Structures are given as structure tokens and as C-alpha cells.
Amino acid sequence: MSRAVIGVDLGGTNMRTALLNHDGDVLERTREKTPVAEGYRQVIEKLSECIERQRCRARDRGMEVAAIGVGAPGVIHAAQGIVLTSPNFPDWKNVPLKQLLEQKLHIPVYVENDANAAALGEQWRGAGKGIDSMILLTLGTGVGGGIILEGRIWRGADGTAGEVGHMTILPEGRTCGCGNRGCLEMYASARGIVMSYHDRKAVLGLPGPDASVTAESVFREAQAGGDVALSVMGEMGRFLGIGIANLINIFNPEMIVIGGGVKEAWSLFIDAAVREIKARAFAYPAERTRIVPSVLGDDAGMIGAGSVALGS
């Protein structure tokens, strides 16, 4: 029987699993709603069912699942597989996710922070193949980050490293959910884009907040040539460029990968971002650093979690 692993992306909205072969090809998928409100035991129960379904499919293919990798949001103690705390799962405090899943599944389980898992996925099978030093920025509802140095995730002393979305970009800027002001996340995320759009309209004396505005509607308006939306996306690019310039000066990385839903608006922000990087970062490392869109999209987390299971 050939060897397979299962990679899990455990999100606050959906839990997704992928059956992966040794090369990281996705053979089978599952996708279910995450029953966050029912508490962590129910979440783990439902996840176990998804995983068992994948194991049956593996057997049908003549494969054996050797291990499970789970990418989970929040502060993770990776070595012990414990979710210390998680913004998306309010009741998860010191949940021994590895241990609970192993008791149910009788198979080795490895747990990794979701942004780190996505970075590992891009490095293994996506934009960062063969790259040793790379930073992934996921521009979604918020801005997540995963830092790969010498081919490995930099987790920091407690596993909380990589919060590049919470770099201060504007000291007196918008108040962020993390308690800080002016975080990159407040300007370069989908939520930030919607806030900038409302702010810009207010400055211009145009009609006020409209609940139907989403990041996608701003992208569409900008693509259609709308001035307000175009200026919002230009500003978003400039703030993103400030953040990336900081990362270039600090890390001198080979590559910065930009993922998340906002990546779909690439052409609306990348020129402004690159101009800002050229104006701000040291020329030598700035020329070296390739700034590229993610390749794997939503699959990055599952594939990266699978790579953890394979590598461990």
C-alpha cells in the first residue's frame, strides 16, 4: 500500500481536509461547516468524521494514511499540538488538539498555526518551491503571516511569531481588533479596504456607509474605472508596500508571497505597492526579493499541513 497523509485547514467558518499523496497532489477533498458555537468537542468530533471518511477513500485507492496534519488558527504550541488560544474559537483555551484527535483516530497528528501551514504549502507546492527564506502575507478578512527561514517556519519563543499583519503602519491610525492602532491589517485586508472606501466617500462628501459594500464590490468598481475605488486600492497598495519594505529591510528574504482573497485584485494594488517598496526599502535587498501572488489559494493551508504530517 502506498503512503498518504491528510492535511486539514480548520477555519472558523469551514473545516476542509485533503487526502494527499507523497508528492502533495490533492486526491480527495471534504468541506464542512465548522460548528464553532457547539464547542470544541463537537468541532473535533465532526473533524474526526471527515478524516475517517478520507481514510476510507484512501483504502479504496489502495493507500494507507500515515499521519494527519492540522492547520488551526490562533496561538499554537506546535511541539505539543495544543491550541493555547484562538480568536476564531472563543472557547478554545489550552485545547490538546493533537492528543484528542490521536485518541479518536489512533494515528499520529501534527498541529500547526494556519498561516504557517499556508506558508509551508506555498513553499512545498506553490510559489515558493526551492526557496529558503520567504514570507507569506494572507490578505483576507484580516492579514495573516507565515515566516520561513532556512526552509523552516520561524515560530518564536512561544509560537506566536509571524504576526506581520499587526505591524504598525500608521501610529495614530485605525483601532485594530488586537488593541493596537494603525496595523497593516486595518488597511490591507478586505475589511480595511471597505473601511477605506467608506472613509474616502465621507471625505468627498458622498453618501455615507452602505452595508452592501464589500471588498469584492470595491474591486469591481475599481476595475470599471471608478475613481473612489481606484484611489482606495492605490492607498491599500501603498500601505502594503510600506509593510513589505519593512520586511525586506528586516529579513532580506528571497521571496514575499501574497495570498488571501484580496490577492484576486492584484492588478489594482501591486503597482502602488512596488513603487512604495522601491521608494522605501534598501535597494540591494529590494531588487533581490521577488514579490509574487500565491499559487495554491485556499489549498495552501491543507497542503502545508500535509507537509508537516509527511515531514514529521
Binding site for its own copies (CB under 8 A): 75, 84-85, 132-133, 145, 147, 149, 154-164, 166-171, 178-181, 242, 245-246, 249-254, 279-285, 288-289
* Residue 18 in grid coordinates: 485533503
* Residue 234 in grid coordinates: 492605490
The residue among 68 and 167 lying less far from its own copies, judged by its C-beta, is: 167
State the minimum distance, in angstroms, from the CB of residue 183 to its own copies.
9
Contacts for 224 with CB less than 8 Å, ≥ 6 apart? none
Q: How wide is the angle at C-alpha 79 spanned by C-alphas 77 and 84, nearest 5°?
A: 15
The residue among 99 and 168 lying less far from its own copies, judged by its C-beta, is: 168
State the minimum distance, in angstroms, from the CB of residue 150 to its own copies.
9
The residue among 59 and 278 lying less far from its own copies, judged by its C-beta, is: 278
The residue among 189 and 289 lying less far from its own copies, judged by its C-beta, is: 289
Residue 311, helix vs strand vs coil:
helix
State the minimum distance, in angstroms, from the CB of residue 157 to its own copies.
5
Q: Which ranges in the chain belong to alpha helices (H)?
A: 40-60, 97-105, 114-125, 185-188, 190-203, 215-223, 227-251, 266-280, 283-288, 300-311
- State CA 19 to chain mean position distance: 20
* Residue 174 in grid coordinates: 485605525
The residue among 105 and 143 lying less far from its own copies, judged by its C-beta, is: 143
State the minimum distance, in angstroms, from the CB of residue 11 to its own copies.
20
* Residue 250 in grid coordinates: 528586516
State the minimum distance, in angstroms, from the CB of residue 123 to its own copies.
15
